[in-house]
Amino acid sequence: MAKAEYSTDNIGHFGLSFDYYSHFTSPIRRYPDVMVHRLLALYLDGKPSAAPGEYQKLCKHASMLERKASEAERSSIKYKQVEFLVGRIGEQFEGTITGVTGWGMYVEINENKCEGMVGLKNISHDHFHFDQAELAIVGSRTGERYTLGDQVKIKVVGANLEKKQLDFDLVV
The model's pLDDT over 23-79, given as tens digits with 9 standing for 90+, comes to 655 455 578 888 888 889 999 999 988 888 998 999 899 888 888 888 999 999 999
Q: Where are the beta strands (DSSP E) in 70-150?
A: 92-100, 104-109, 115-119, 128-131, 136-139, 145-147
Whole-number pLDDT of residue 25: 58
The model's pLDDT over 126-135, given as tens digits with 9 standing for 90+, comes to 999 999 999 9
Q: Quick check: 59 and 6 in contact, CB under 8 A?
A: yes
Q: Which fold has domain 89-170?
A: OB fold (Dihydrolipoamide Acetyltransferase, E2P) (2.40.50)
Locate the domains of the chain by residue range: 1-88, 89-170
pTM: 0.74
Q: Quick check: 156 and 84 in contact, CB under 8 A?
A: no
